[in-house]
Amino acid sequence: MKIACIAGARPNFMKIAPILSAIKKYPKLEPILVHTGQHYDYEMSQVFFDELDIPEPDVYLGVGSGSHAVQTAKIMIAFEEIVNQYKPDIVLVVGDVNSTLACAIVGAKLWIPVAHVEAGVRSFDRTMPEEINRILTDVISDFMFTPTEIANENLRKEGIPDEKIFLVGDVMIDTMLKYKEKAKSTQILKRMGLSEGSYALMTLHRPSNVDIKENLVKILSALEAIQHRIKIVLSLHPRTKARLKEFSLESRVAKMDNLIITDPLGYLEFMGLMIDAKFILTDSGGMQTESTVLNIPCLTLRENTERPETINYGTNTLVGNDTECIIQESLKILEGKGKSGTYPSIWDGHTSDRIAEILNSLGYK
């Protein structure tokens, strides 16, 4: 059974890696790895293939950057040709990026069953492009592999029948648990002059935070206060870097003596930093989950989350881009009052095994 496995952007690579590994345990299953090229440079793409033992893609579409419409259209056009050439039995997509939706649409319109990993995840904020991608992908998918019971319930409320829903866990946690010890052995802390618990780790890239100058300034104002109390390591996304220059905020950032700026890091070094961080500042979805499993306090710079489990019984707190809220919650953590928590038992590192077992049980030749 041929399975077209789609990866295109940085968040996809740590999700597709364990799935490919699990699928290869079954002789019946033949993965075809398709890299759309949505993220295409070394820091955003190739380093993940190198570090996570992902094989060379069978197909590289090379679509590059563009607006949501342009990128989605280019992926659809290119992927349709690949489907006609390879004739997969299933199209497997992960997450919520443009590659996810584009390839799902192509599969559905060519009557090829679509499997969506991380289905049912909802922020209920349709101003987020990812939310549109999630909803539309689930509507046209035949197999929905969900991370939590909350995701199952979201799908049921949208009219998805139970026979299409499979609770399997969070595939990102598979990768994190597999490579945790290797990540801890990197020399990233030594190289950056850091020690365990001596810094906060930060990522920032959401358009709502960085494309609006007022919002970006509010976050920088919080950092100016926090960095007097603890070092902050900011892994600088290309989008954020561009906006800092566009809004003439580079000099303001440069004046923060305890703000350490790095280019995007590979998976292992970044995970090494996360494991030993005092706390996390992020607007990423995945880091909310990872920090909860690591039992590290996380302040999410958003008004909502598609990961409610991390709020309800994990280590996550929503702070938006409210300057005072970010500062006060950071100080609480530094005073030993940060959240600790737990996480679903099904986040056990075997999500990809469950996905592969289900795929192997299907009645395809």
Active site residues: 205
Are 20 and 54 in contact by the 8 Å Cβ rule? The answer is yes
* Beta bridge pairs of residue 201: 233, 280
Are 330 and 299 in contact by the 8 Å Cβ rule? The answer is yes
Taking the CB of residue 150, how many other CB atoms lie within 10 A of it? 17
Question: Among candidates 248, 192, 194, 200, which has minimal Cα distance to 225?
Answer: 200
φ, ψ at 5 (rounded to 5°)? -100, 120
Are 265 and 235 in contact by the 8 Å Cβ rule? The answer is yes
Distance CA 314, CA 17 (A): 25
Query: What single string gives the DSSP state of each residue in 101-125?
Result: HHHHHHHHHTT--EEEETTT-----
Are 44 and 13 in contact by the 8 Å Cβ rule? The answer is no
Residue 258 tokens read as: 């305890």
- 3-state SS, residue 143: strand
3-state helix, strand, coil in the chain (%, to 5): 50, 15, 35
Distance CA 255, CA 276 (A): 25
Q: Which helix (H) or strand (E) holds 116?
A: strand 114-117
Distance CA 115, CA 352 (A): 13
Which residues, other chains included, contact 271 with Cβ-Cβ below 8 Å and sequence gap of 6+? 176, 179, 180, 183, 290
Question: Among candidates 262, 54, 146, which has minimal Cα distance to 8?
Answer: 54
Are 279 and 298 in contact by the 8 Å Cβ rule? The answer is yes
Distance CA 282, CA 222 (A): 13
